[in-house]
A and B are shown apart, each in its own frame.
Chain A
Amino acid sequence: MAKTPIGLEPVVGSLTPSKKREYRVTNRLQEGKRPLYAVVFNFIDSRYFNVFATVGGNRVTVYQCLDGGVIAVLQSYVDEDKDESFYTISWACNIDGTPFVVAGGINGIIRVIDASNEKIHKSFVGHGDSINEIRTQPLKPSLIVSASKDESVRLWNVHTGICILIFAGAGGHRNEVLSVDFHPSDIHRIASCGMDNTVKIWSMKEFWTYVEKSFTWTDLPSKFPTKYVQFPIFLASVHSNYVDCSRWLGDFILSKSVDNEIVLWEPKMKEQSPGEGTADILQKYPVPECDIWFIKFSCDFHYNAAAIGNREGKIYVWELQSSPPVLIARLSHAQSKSPIRQTATSFDGSTILSCCEDGTIWRWDAVPTD
C-alpha cells in the first residue's frame, strides 16, 4: 500500500453512534451447543424475505422471522456424516423459482437442498478441501460460486449440477479462499479474497458461452468441458492479513481483514493490461475487537447499512453510503459475549440477526421511531 498523496487519505468513520435508528433485542434462540457459522436471509425470492437459514455442525435450519420478535422454525436438515461441519449457506433457486438452500462445509461437498419438497436436490463434489463461502448470482439465481480451502473458486449450475468454471491456477489464490461475491450488475465479474491477503477480481466474459451451455447440457455433468480460468483481471493488496469477507458495493468493494475495520475501495483496472491496476481506498469503517478471522458482515438489500459482529458479541451497524461514514448503532447485550461469526440484515434493515460461537441466534429489531 503506497503512501497516499494529501487529500486522498481514506475517510475513517467515527465510533460514536448517531442513533439514527435504535435496535433492541427481541429474541434469542439457542440452537444446540455447536458454533453457528452462517446466517443468511433469502433475498432471492421476495416471497421469502423474512425467511432465513443458519448452519452449525452438520445441521442446516430454516426459520422465519415473524412480528413481535417471534422466530418460527420451519425446516431442519441434518447431514448423515456427523463429522461434517457446515461453514456457509446461501439461498438459490431453480429456473422455475423453487427455493434452494445451498450449504457447504468441511467435507468439501456442496449440498443443494430443495426447500420446497425438503429433499436433497444435488450434491456437488469436486472441491478438494473445505468450503468457506457460497454466494448466489442474484441476476441468475441458478448460478452459485463457491470459495474453498483448496485455493480455488468454482462456478456451479444448481439446475443441471454442472461445474462450469474453476478459478484457480497460475494467477489464482495462493492460500485458502475465504470469501467470494458476484457483482450486482455486471454478470461477468466476481471478486474473491483469501488467506493470501489479496482480493482478486475475475471475469467470466470469455467463457460466457460455457455458462450458457451449462443450462442446456443434457449429457452427464461430468462430461461437461469445465474450463480453468487461471488469470484474474485485477489483483489488489489492500490488506496485510487474511481477508475474510469481501462484498461488492456497486463498482466498489467492501472488504475486511483482521485489523478491526471494513475498508471501502475502488478497483481501478487498466484496460489494456489486465492484472495491473490500483486500489483506491475510499473509506474505512472501524470495528473494534474484530481481529479474529472468519467473521463476516452482511448488508441489507439496498446496501444502505452493513451489520458486523465482533468477538465480544457486539454488533456495529454502519451506514454505508454516507461520507464520512456514520455509525447507525452499536448493539450490545450483557449476555451476548460470544464471538459473532456472521450477521444477517433483513431486506429493509429493520431486523438484524447474529449467529454466535456458542450456538445462539440473537434477533434485534429496530425500534419504530414514531
Chain B
Amino acid sequence: MCREDSRLHLSAEEELAAEESLSIYCKPVELYNILQRRAVRNPSFLQRCLRYKIQAKHKMRIQMTVSVSGIVNGGVLTQSLFPLYILLARLVSDVAVAEYSAVYRFRRACILTSFTGIEGSNQAQANFILPEINKLAIEAKSGSLAILLVSFANGGGCCLWGRIPLESLYMSLEKSPNLSLGQRAEMTLPVEMHSCSLKLNCLNEDKCILIQNSSNSLSMLQVIISAEEAGAKEKSPYNSYTCSGISSSSLSHIIRLRAGNVIFNYRYYNNKLQRTEVTEDFSCPFCLVKCASFKGLRHHLPASHDLFHFEFWVTEEYQAVNVSVKTDIWRSEIVADGVDPKQQTFFFCSKQLRRRRPKSLVARHVNPVFLEPNLPAGDCELLDKVHGGNILQNARIGEVECVQHVPSSFNVAGVSGAAGQSYSDSERVQSVSGNNLGPPALLQFAKTRKLSMERSDPRNRTLLQKRQFFHSHRAQPMAIDQVMSDRDSEDEVDDDVADFEDRRMLDDFVDVTKDEKQIMHLWNSFVRKQRVLADGHISWACEAFSKLHGRDLVKAPALIWCWRLFMIKLWNHGLLDARTMNNCNIILEQYQKQGSDPIKG
C-alpha cells in the first residue's frame, strides 16, 4: 500500500536517477533479507528476547486475589489469627518422614495482617498469578496443588492451618460466567482451620512446610477469592487506534488502521520525491524486526540503521516516520558505483601508477597494471643452477621450442601468456566502463617472480630494515643483505635433499635393477631441475638429456640400454616422435665415436 507523490514530472534520465536514489533504501533490506535467512536456524539473541517478551505480554493468565473477610458464624478464636500466611503449595508426594501428616512445598508466602474491609489495614489481600483456565485444568486434576492458610503459634497458642484444594477452586472458576467474558469473578469459600504443629524448612529456593498432629477443625474462616483474566487486552489486532477526544466514525475517509501500523515516508532524489510504506505490528521496514511499541521503534531505527535520518511524529490519525538519507557520513557503506574496494586499495600502493593515470579518466574502472620488467638478473640465477648452461638459456616456464637462438632481450621470448607479454607494448591499459552496474574488472597481475629493485617503494625498504627477519624454513636470522636481495627462497626445492630423497625412494623398490634405478634417478633429477612439466616438453627433454649425460651413458652399456628402453616407452605413449628419437641416438653415437677415438689412438 504505497502512495506515490507524483507532483513532479520527470524526464527519462531523471526517472533513472530518481530510481537510483530510491535504491539506497533497498540495499539494507537486501542485506537483512540475507541475514534473516541465516537467522532462521540461529536467531539473533536480542531479537529473540524481544519476541519472547512480546509473546509473554500477550499470554493469558488469571490473576487471583485471596483475602479473609471474617470468621464464619461469628465465632471467636482463642488466639490471634494474624499474621496469616497464604501459600500456593504443592503436596510432596513422597512423604519420607512418617511422623508428618503432610508436607507441602511452596515458593512464596503472602502475609495478611488483617481481615478485609478493616480501615487502615495495609496488607489485606494476597495476589497470585495462575496459568490460564485450560492449563489450570491440568494442574487441578493432578490434585497436588492447594492454597494453604497458615498461622504460626504466637501469644501462647497453637499453629493453625487450613487448605483450599485447587480442584474445587478450578471448578468454581470454570462455572463462573464472568471469567470467560473477561470480567472479574468473585466467590466466597469457607475454610476449616485445624490446629497442628508446624515445621518450616527453608533450603535455598524450595521451602517446605511440614504439618503434623492435625486436629479437628477449630474454626471456619470466610475466604474471598476473586479472579480475573489478564494479559488478554490486545486480543484483537483490530482494536482501533483511539486517541482521546476523537471518535473513530469521523475518520471514516481514512483507512482504518490497526494499532501497530506505522507509516514510513521515504524521501529521495534530493528530498524532492517521497514514497510511502506502511508496516504492521511496529515492524521496522529494513530489518523486519517487530518492536513492542512505537517507543521501541523510535529507539531501534536510529540505533540500528544509522545510514538514514528519522523524524517521528504522532498525530491523532496515525503514527509516522519520515526517512531521509544522511549525507554527512564520510564513507559509503554500500559499494556505490560498482567500484570494488579491492581495486581501490591497490590504487594507492604505488606512486608510479598514480603518475600514469590520466586525469580525464573517470575513476571507476581502472586496471592497475604491473609491467613485466626486464629480468636479466633473475634469469641468470636460474641458469646458474643448471649444468650445461647453453642448452637451457630460454627455459622459462612453459617454453621449450626456442632452444637454438639466444635472445638478447628476454622479454621477446615466447613466454607463457601469463600477462607478461602484452603489457610490454602498452604503457597503460584502461577500460572505461560507462555502465556502472557492470562487474568491476579484476586486477591482472603479471606473474613475475622478481620485481626489480627500483620498483620497490622506499617506504617499504625502511620497514624491512627496521626489524629482525628470519628464514621461513630454518628459522635462522637473516642478514640485511639477504632481506634486501631479490632472491626469494621460500618455495625452493632443495636439490640435494630432493636428490637424496629420490634415491631413497628408488632404493625402496626391490624389483628394479641398479642400472634402472640410476637412469630413473638421473631422469627425475633432470626433469625436476629443468621443469619439464608438459607433454610437449618431452621431445626437447630427451634430446637435452642425451646431450647432457651422453658421455656417461656411452661408458656404461647397461645404462644406454635402459635409456633406449625408456625412449621406446615414451614413443609407445606417443610422447616422443620418431625423428627426435633418431636425433637422440645420433647424439649418442657421436659421443661413442668421440669416446672410442682416443682408444684407437
Contacts and interface: CB of A to CB of B under 8 A. Distances in A.
B476 A221 contact: yes
B496 A222 contact: no
B474 A163 contact: yes
A225 B495 CA distance: 11
Contacts of A149: none
A273 B505 CA distance: 10
B473 interface: yes
A125 B475 contact: yes
B526 to A, nearest CB: 20
Q: List 7 A-B pairs, minimum CB-CB distance, nearest first.
A: A222-B476, A126-B475, A226-B474, A220-B479, A222-B477, A206-B500, A126-B476
A222 B482 CA distance: 9
B491 interface: no
A228 B500 CA distance: 11
B479 A228 contact: no
Interface string B482-522: 10000000000010110011001001101000000000000
B486 to A, nearest CB: 15
Given A206-B500, A227-B494, A227-B496, A222 B478 contact: yes
Nearest to B475: A126
Interface in A218-253: 220-228, 230-231
A69 interface: no
A363 interface: no
5 contacts: A126-B475, A222-B476, A222-B478, A224-B476, A228-B473
B58 interface: no
B495 to A, nearest CB: 10
Nearest to B499: A206
A103 B86 CA distance: 77
Contacts of B531: none
B471 interface: yes
Nearest to A273: B508
A238 to B, nearest CB: 24
Contacts, number: 44
Interface of B: 470-471, 473-479, 482, 494, 496-497, 500-501, 504, 507-508, 510
A225 B496 CA distance: 10
A127 interface: yes
Interface range, A side: 20 to 34
A206 B475 CA distance: 23
Given A222-B482, A223-B479, A226-B476, 14 more contacts: A163-B474, A163-B476, A206-B500, A221-B476, A222-B471, A222-B476, A222-B479, A223-B482, A225-B494, A226-B474, A227-B497, A230-B501, A231-B501, A274-B504
Interface of A: 125-128, 163, 166, 206, 220-228, 230-231, 272-274
Nearest to B469: A222
A272 B511 CA distance: 12
A203 B508 CA distance: 17
Contacts of A166: 474
B541 to A, nearest CB: 27
Contact of A127 (B473, B475, B478, B510): B475
A231 B498 CA distance: 12
A20 to B, nearest CB: 47
Contacts of A273: 508
Given A222-B471, A228-B494, A125 B504 contact: no
A228 B470 CA distance: 16
Contacts of B500: 206
Contact of A126 (B474, B479, B504, B508): B474
A125 B497 contact: no
B492 to A, nearest CB: 11
B261 to A, nearest CB: 64
A279 to B, nearest CB: 21
Contacts of B478: 222
Contacts of A206: 500
B508 to A, nearest CB: 6
A221 B475 CA distance: 12
